[in-house]
Structure 1
């Protein structure tokens, strides 16, 4: 219901005023008007689509998306082989030093038996027995050193991967072992699992260990994960 305008042409305050169409701008988006870019509205996806989710291989081209690390390059089998070769040369050199020292000492003690004279000399038998005991003691010491070296080798491979993500050979080649799930270091558990699987395989005339080290060739995902990597949830990347 409307009232006539008062005298003087002034608008009637009681008369309903026509509604004005809403103006575009801040506030709720208008019907039929596409929202403008800005805060509060979803942005268009980047060119080429959204980035690949973590843990996926980009077109099987040697790159891998790992959380907190981004896109990283997977280490090639050639790089891993060279890293293993460097470690093998270092370990082999130390092992040879221990063996040569033990065998050389035993040979030296055996040669000293000639100083005992002949079997006709007094005390010859006691002298020979003493030298033989010393030679046996040297050989026993050598095997003890080898056993200690094996323990240190276990700790070297295990703990270096656990806390550094790389042995000396991998450091030389610029490689690193990380967890595929979050890009962190393998830790004590992951490092032990990754090391012990080839060791168990070595009991089968070392054929099992060779198969474990060659198993990345059997991985068709492009990650080059060996059986020991899959068990530990790790991947080897190039830094």
Structure 2
């Protein structure tokens, strides 16, 4: 009594042949001769090209894109040491600039009051010069005028120094001014994720200041230049020169 052909395929115990044109279960599949496999699917019997991952699939074991992309994606960017962070919107940046303007304006107001009081004191001192007929009257008035001019020039220099220290050093060492802290923004180096430092902070500060000498139009264009950046990073001209980015904390 025979229980079956010993040479029979165990996966097809009944010895049935698969219908023509349909896959047979348990039988190895082969691509028709001369017909390449469909795109995106491995071809049985076709050697795979070494070193190239399948199309549309992640490349396991292949080098991935490194941090510090050249273009932001939907307002986010990958920065070394920080990972994926959100690029600061122009609304927040303009809000930070407005707050900084108020802070510096208060400081200017205090210093202006001090300087004006000093100038008025010098002007009142001319009462002791006598009349224009008195000897030395003109010299006394000239000295008082020189004192007033020196006071005003000194106040201008102090204003410039305050702005320099405020914008430059706070960005250099803290990565943010008072306004940026208030709205949750930070300035970082694009290639390291660290604070800009002395050099980066100074470059970022001085470029708008140079624009001030062009009737403030140059400075205005610098502050509006992030609108012209098509990389999605909203980098202004001063940011590009300093290699910095403004991000949300």
**Counterpart in 1 of 2:9?**
none
Q: Distance in 1 between matches of 2:197 and 2:175?
A: 9
**Counterpart in 2 of 1:173?**
183
**Counterpart in 1 of 2:44?**
none
**Counterpart in 2 of 1:9?**
none
What 5-or-longer segments of structure 2 have no aligned partner?
A: 1-56
1:152 is matched with which residue: 156, 162, 165?
162
Matches within 5 A, 1:90-239: 90-111=103-124, 113=126, 130=140, 133-134=143-144, 136-239=146-249
For the aligned residues, what is the CA RMSD?
3.0
Q: Distance in 1 between matches of 2:245 and 2:88?
A: 9
Deviations 1:110-166 (A, max 9, x none): 34655777778xxx6657864663464144123213213312321321121111111
Deviations 1:23-70 (A, max 9, x none): xxxxxxxxxxxxxxxxxxxxx959xxx986423388732111111101
Q: Distance in 2 between matches of 1:59 and 1:95?
A: 38
Matches within 5 A, 1:31-70: 53-56=66-69, 60-70=73-83
Q: Distance in 2 between matches of 1:190 and 1:45?
A: 38
- Larger mean CA deviation between 151-160 and 171-180 belongs to 151-160
| Length, aligned pairs only | 190
Q: Distance in 2 between matches of 1:59 and 1:171?
A: 23
TM-score (normalised: structure 1):
0.68
TM-score (normalised: structure 2):
0.65
State yes or no: 1:81 paired with 2:91: no
In structure 2, do the counterparts of structure 1 residues 132 and 109 end up closer, same or farther at CA, with 3 Å as the change threshold? farther
Cα contact 1:52–1:58 (8 A) shared by 2 = no
